[in-house]
Amino acid sequence: MAVDLGTGDGRHVLTAAARQPGTLFVGVDANAAAMADSSRRAWRGRTALPNALFAVAAAERPPEELHGLAGSLTVNFPWGSLLRGLVGADDAVLAGVARLMAPGAEGVVLLSVVPRDGMPPVPARGSLGLAYERHGLELVEMRPATSEEVAESGSSWAKRLRAGRDRPVTLLRLRAPSVRPRGSPASRVPRGRPPRAAWPAPPRGR
C-alpha cells in the first residue's frame, strides 16, 4: 500500500493508481471537500480506479486501520500543521507519520518554504534528523529537489506556488525501522488491505 498524506485534491493518487494498477493508493487529507472530485472519478465510469481510495483524517490522527500498513509514503508540498510537523516543529504530526509507515517503509517529502510564508524554515539536516529520530524515523536524505522530481509529483499546489521556479524545493527521504518494538500500536495491525469500513462511501450522483 502507498499512502499520499496531505493529498489535497487527490490528483497524485489518481495518476499513481492508473500507472500501477496492482498497488493500492490511499490519499489522506483533513479536507474532505478537496478530495471530492478525485473520489468521484475513482469510483465511476470506464476510467474508475478501484485501487484508489481516500480517507478523511488529519496527519496527527491518521485512521487506525492504516497504522503500520504504508509500504511507501509521499507528502507533496504540505502546508499548515503538516508542514510544521515535517520541518520538526510539531511532534504530533511526526508521530502520525511514524504510525502510518510499515516496518522498513520509505517516505519521500517535497516541501517549499520561504520567509514570506510565515512558516518555520527548513532546519539544518542534523537538527531535523534528531526530530525524526524521536519518532523512530531515519532521515536518509535531504537535498534540493530536481525540476524532474517536482514535475513527477503532479502536485497542483506546486504549480500554484511555482515551486522549483520562483522558490526552492527540498526533498526529504525517510525510513521507518525494519522491526517495530513489540507492543507498539503499528505492530498489532494485521497486514493486508484495510477493511472497507475505513473509507468514506463513494459520493452519490444524481
Domain boundaries, the chain: 2-180
Place of cell 526530530: 131
pLDDT band with cut points at 50, 70 and 90 for residue 163? low
**Confidence tier at 109 by pLDDT (50, 70, 90):** very high
Q: Does the pLDDT value for residue 37 go beyond 90?
A: yes
Beta strands in 90-133 (DSSP E): 101-111
**pLDDT score of 194 more than 80:** no
pTM of the model: 0.85
Neighbouring residues of 24: CB distance < 8 A, sequence distance ≥ 6: 1, 2, 51, 53, 193
Task: Select from 23, 36, 55 the least CA-distant residue to 15.
Answer: 23
Query: Does position 159 have pLDDT exceeding 50, yes or no?
Result: yes
Task: Tell me how far apart the alpha carbons of residues 65 and 166 are, in angstroms, rounded to a whole number.
Answer: 39
Residue at grid coordinates 510564508 = 117
pLDDT by residue (tens digit) across 131-154? 999 999 999 999 999 988 988 887
Please, are residues 55 and 26 in contact by the beta-carbon 8 Å criterion? yes
CATH of domain 2-180: 3.40.50.150
Instruction: Tell me the chain's radius of gyration from C-alpha atoms.
Output: 16
